[in-house]
Structure 1
Amino acid sequence: MGLTEWAYSLSESLLSDPLPRRWAHSLGVAKAARSLGAILGNDAEVLEAAAVLHDIGYSPAIAVTGFHPLDGARFLRDQEGADERVVRLVAHHSCALLEAEERGLRQELEGEFDLERPDLVDALLYSDMTTTPDGTRTTPAERLDEVVQRYGPDTIVGRFIQRAAPEIHAAAKRVEERMTLVSPGNQPM
C-alpha cells in the first residue's frame, strides 16, 4: 500500500464516522494539496498524505491532550510508525506552535517534533487555510473569519488564529507566487 493510500484509509477510519464534517474538510485539504503538485515535485505525495491526516488528532479514539496537532503527530509516530516528514507536517500544521503556546504546550511540541522544510509547511498551511470546514475552496481571509466566528475571538483558537493571520497570509502569498511561476503561461518556449 502506498503512502497516500494508507493515509486516506487511516484518516477515514478515524474521522468519517465520529466527525464527518472534519473528514470532509480533510478530503478538501488533500485535494488542495494535490493541486500544488507542480511546485512540490517528489514531495507531492508526502504533502498529500499529511494533508489528509492533518486533523486526525480530533478523533475521539486518539485525542489525549485536546491539542489536535500534538495528539495526531504522537499517534502517527508512536502507533503507526509513520513517515517522519508526514509526522512533522501534522505536528506543525497551520501555525500550530502559536496555538501550542496559547495552550501551554509549545515546549512539548517543539521538543518532540522538528519543523519540516518551510516550503512544505507553507503548502500544507495554504491547503488548510483555503478549505472550508465542509471541504470546499475558500480564501485565507474568509477562512480566518470563519474560524474566529466559529470559536469566538476570545477563545484559545480565536486568539491563536488572529495572532497567526499575518503568517497565514504571507504563506498563502508565497505559495501563490510559486504556483504562478510554474503556470503554463510562464513556461519558457
Structure 2
Amino acid sequence: MNVVEWSTRVAETELKSVLPRRWAHTQGVARRAAEIKKTVGRDADLLIASATLHDVGYAPRLVVTGFHPLDGARFLRDEHIADERLVRLVANHSFALMEAEERGLQHELATEFPLLEDPLVVDALVYCDMTTTPGGGRTTAQERVAEIVGRYGADSVVGRFIRRAAPEIFSSVERIKAALAAQPR
C-alpha cells in the first residue's frame, strides 16, 4: 500500500464516524492537494498524504494536549512510525507554530517537530487547507480566515492565532497561485 492509500485509511478510521464534518474537510483538502500536486514535483504523494492527515489530531481518542497538530503528529510518529517529513508537515501545517505559541506549546512543537525546510510543500499544504471549507468545498483564504474567526471567536486562542497568521497564510496561498499560473497547460 502506498503512502496516499495508507494516509486515507488512517484518516478515515480516525475521523469518519466520530467527526464527519472534519472528515469532509479532510477529504476536500486532499482533493485540493491532488489537483495541485504538480506544483511540488516529486513530493506529490507527500503533499497528498499530509493533506489527508493534517487534522487527524482532532480525533477524540488522540487528544492529549488539545492542540491537534501536535497530537496528530505524535500519533503518526509513535503509533505508525510515519515518515519524518510527513509527520513534520502535519505538526506544522498552516502556521501551527504561531498557535502553539498562543497555547504555551511552542517549545514542544519546535523541538519535537522542526519546520520542514521545503517552503514549497509547506505553502502547498497551507493553500489546500486554507482554501477548503469545513464541509470540504472551495473557498478563498480570506473567507476561510473569516469563517475560522467567526466560528471560534476573535478573542479565543484560535481567533487570536488565525488573525496573527493571516498575512502569512495569504502569502503562502498567493505563492501557490503564482506557481499554478506558471505551469504549462
Please classify the TM superposition score into its range, dividing by the shorter chain length.
over 0.9
How many residues align? The count is 184
**Matched residue, 1:79:** 79
AA matched with 1:154 = D
Opposite residue 136 of structure 1, the aligned amino acid is G
Larger Rg, first or second structure (1 or 2): 1
Partner of 1:46: 46
Q: CA deviation at 1:146?
A: 0.2
Task: Please give the alpha-carbon distance, in whole angstroms, between the structure 1 residues aligned to 2:138 and 2:51.
Answer: 14
**Which residue in 2 is equivalent to 1:98?**
98
Say yes or no: does 1:120 pair with 2:110: no
1:42 match: secondary structure? helix
Please give the per-residue CA displacement for 1:132-174, whole angstroms capped at 9, x wherever unaligned: 0000010000000000000000000000000000000000000
Distance 1:13 1:86 in 2: 18
- Segment of structure 1 superposing worse, 36-45 or 58-67: 36-45
Q: Matches of 2:153 and 2:39 in 1, distance apart?
A: 35
Write the distance in 2 (CA, Å) between the matches of 1:39 and 1:143: 22
How far apart are the structure 1 equivalents of 2:28 and 2:184?
22
Could you say which residue in structure 1 is the equivalent of 2:172? Answer: 171
Preserved contact between residue 50 and residue 89 of structure 2 (Cα < 8 Å): yes
SS state at 1:179 partner: helix
Gaps of 5+ in 1: 185-189
Instruction: Give the equivalent residue in structure 2 for 1:20.
Output: 20
What one-letter code is carried by the residue in structure 1 that aligns with 2:177? E
**Alpha-carbon RMSD:** 0.6
CA shift digits 1:33-81 (9 cap, x unpaired) = 1111221111000010000100000001111000000000000001100
Aligned to 1:187: none
Q: Which residue of 1 aligns with 2:163?
A: 162
Measured in 2, the distance between the counterparts of 1:37 and 1:53 equals 16
| One-letter identity of the residue aligned with 1:143 | R
Superposition TM-score, scaled by structure 2 size: 0.98
**SS of 1:5's equivalent?**
helix
Q: Give the drift of 1:183.
A: 3.8
Amino acid at match of 1:77: R
The CA distance in 2 between the partners of 1:156 and 1:128, in whole Å, is: 19
Determine the C-alpha separation between the residues in 2 that align with 1:2 and 1:122.
23
State TM-score, norm by structure 1.
Answer: 0.96
Q: Distance in 2 between matches of 1:183 and 1:11?
A: 33
Q: Which residue matches 2:135?
A: 134
